[in-house]
Each structure stands twice: as structure tokens, then as C-alpha cells.
Amino acid sequence: MTSEDVDREFLRAYDKASTTSKKFPPDIMLKLYAYYKQATEHTRAYIPSGDSEVKNAFKLNALLQVKDMSQLEAKKAYIELVKKIILDK
């Protein structure tokens, strides 16, 4: 699979995750958030803002867990998680 294929599949997965009516537990939402941020921004110094301190702490923890992933790895992880939770594959 080429990086262009991964990019296309990542965009499809993002669209599915963004438009689904399914509700997910907080741990899944945090994984999706962290993979997405790592895949699109790939920044190690990113500090979430705009939410409560507790919510920001959970987001920061999720980001720290994926900080060593490449953007490609994060995209693939995001795709696989979406397949698992939305497409049930």
C-alpha cells in the first residue's frame, strides 16, 4: 500500500468516524483524537487547550502515548481503529 493509498483510506476513515451516529467510550475517543493529531500535525509539543484541565490532561496523556509514531503509522492505526469500531472488521 503506497502512502497515497494510506492518505485516501485515512480520509475515508476520518469521514466515517466524523459522521457516524455511534457513541464511543472515552478511551476510544481519546485514541481517535491522538492518532488523528499525530497523523495530521505530528507535533510532540502540542498541548491541548479550550477544554477543562481534566479533559486536557486526558488528551495530553493520549498524545504522549503516540508521540513516537510516524505520521504514516498514526494514519494506519487510525484506519484500523475505525475499521474495528465502526465497520466491525
pLDDT of residue 34: 94
Alpha helices in the chain (DSSP H): 3-19, 26-40, 53-65, 71-85
3-state helix, strand, coil in the chain (%, to 5): 65, 0, 35
29, pLDDT greater than 70: yes
Between 25 and 41, the higher pLDDT residue: 25
Mean pLDDT of 34-48: 77
Mean pLDDT of 38-59: 74
> pTM value?
0.85
Domain spans of the chain, in order of start: 3-85
Percent of the chain topping pLDDT 90: 64
3-85: which CATH architecture? Up-down Bundle (1.20)
pLDDT of residue 44: 58
